[in-house]
Homo-oligomer: A and B are copies of this chain.
C-alpha cells in the first residue's frame, strides 16, 4: 500500500516534499572524489571513469540520504542520471534505492517508461515487481513508485498497475509535465479541452480500483507545478489521484502553486544546495550533506502551508 505509507510519512514528518537524487557530476564536490582514492576504489583518472563516477555517485547519494532521511518522506531517483554511466551507473542506481529504503525513505523511480505488452511487463517486473530466473524470483530495483509515460495507451500502463496490485506499489503517470515545451503535444485541443485533461480522465479511471484508506489511489499523476490553474482543474478531474509535482525551485514553482494532495520534488535545490546562496555562505564543500539537510528543512518550512 505504497500511497498510504507515503501519505502517512508525509504527515508524520510534516513534509510533502521529496528530495530528487539526480546526481550530475558537477554537483559532486572534490572531497567525494578524494574519499574514493583513499578507499581504494576506482580512480577517475585511470581505468574506467564510468565505474569511478558510479562510485562517487554512491558516496554522494549515501551521505545525502543519511542527512535527509529524517526530513523527507521519500527520495526520487531520475534514472537517466545513472543510465548515463552504463551498467556501472545502473548498479549505483540500484544500490542507492536499497540504501534509501534501509534508511527508512520511500523511493520514487523516475523512469518515465512506456512500451507495449511484454515490454511494459519487463519494465514493471524490473522496477516494481519481480524478475523470474529459472524458478527463482528477484526484486531487481524494488522501488515503491515508478513514473510512467501514457502515450502508448492502456495496455502499456496495465502491467505497471498489475504490479501495484501484486506488490503494494504505486505509479505516477505523466499528465502534464513542467518543461517549457510540454504544451506542444500535451495542450493540444481534444474535443474542446487540452489533451492532458483527457489523459487525466484516463488516469482517474485506471486508478479507481486501487483507491486506498487514505482516499488516494496507487495510481498517481505527474502534474507540472508551474501550471497553477491547470493543476486545480486536474484536481477536479482526478479527485482521488495523488500528484507528484516536479519543478520546485529550479523549475520555478512556488508553494502557492501546489494543490492539495501533492508531493513536491526538488532535486538540485537540495543536493546541490552547498553550491548556492544562502547555503554556500553557511557550508563548505565538505559539508554538502549538511547543506542538503538545511535546504530540505527550509523547503519543508516553505511548504508548511500545504494541506495533504
Give A contacts to B, CB under 8 Å: 22, 24-25, 33, 44-45, 49-50, 52-53, 78, 80-81, 83-88, 90-91, 93-94, 112-120, 122-123, 125-126, 131-134, 136, 138, 140-141, 149-156, 174, 177-186, 188-191, 195, 198-199, 202
Contact = CB atoms under 8 A, between A and B. Distances in A.
A50 B85 contact: no
B179 A152 contact: yes
Contacts of A120: 80
B154 A184 contact: yes
Counting from the closest, the 5 A-B pairs by CB-CB distance are A49-B133, A153-B184, A153-B181, A87-B91, A116-B179
Nearest to A117: B179
Given A80-B113, A131-B84, A133-B44, A186 B126 contact: no
A51 to B, nearest CB: 9
B186 A153 contact: yes
Contacts of A183: 153
B198 A80 contact: no
Nearest to A224: B116
A126 B188 contact: no
Contact of A149 (B90, B114, B125, B153): B114
Given A53-B133, A83-B123, A149-B149, 4 more contacts: A85-B133, A117-B179, A152-B185, A155-B181
Contacts of A53: 131, 133
Nearest to A202: B184
B49 A116 contact: no
Contacts of A140: 50, 84-86
A45 B133 CA distance: 9
B86 A141 contact: yes
Contacts of A150: 151, 185
Contacts of A83: 90, 122-123, 126
Contact of A122 (B84, B113, B191, B195): B84
Nearest to A85: B131
B153 A185 contact: yes
24 contacts: A49-B136, A50-B138, A52-B133, A53-B133, A80-B126, A81-B122, A84-B122, A84-B140, A86-B90, A87-B87, A87-B90, A87-B91, A112-B114, A117-B179, A151-B151, A152-B179, A152-B182, A152-B185, A152-B186, A153-B182, A155-B179, A155-B181, A156-B181, A190-B190
Contacts of A113: 80, 112
Contacts of A133: 25, 44, 49-50, 52-53, 85
A152 B150 CA distance: 11
Most buried by B among A22, A44, A45, A86: A86
A83 to B, nearest CB: 5
A178 to B, nearest CB: 7
Contact of A44 (B22, B134, B151): B134
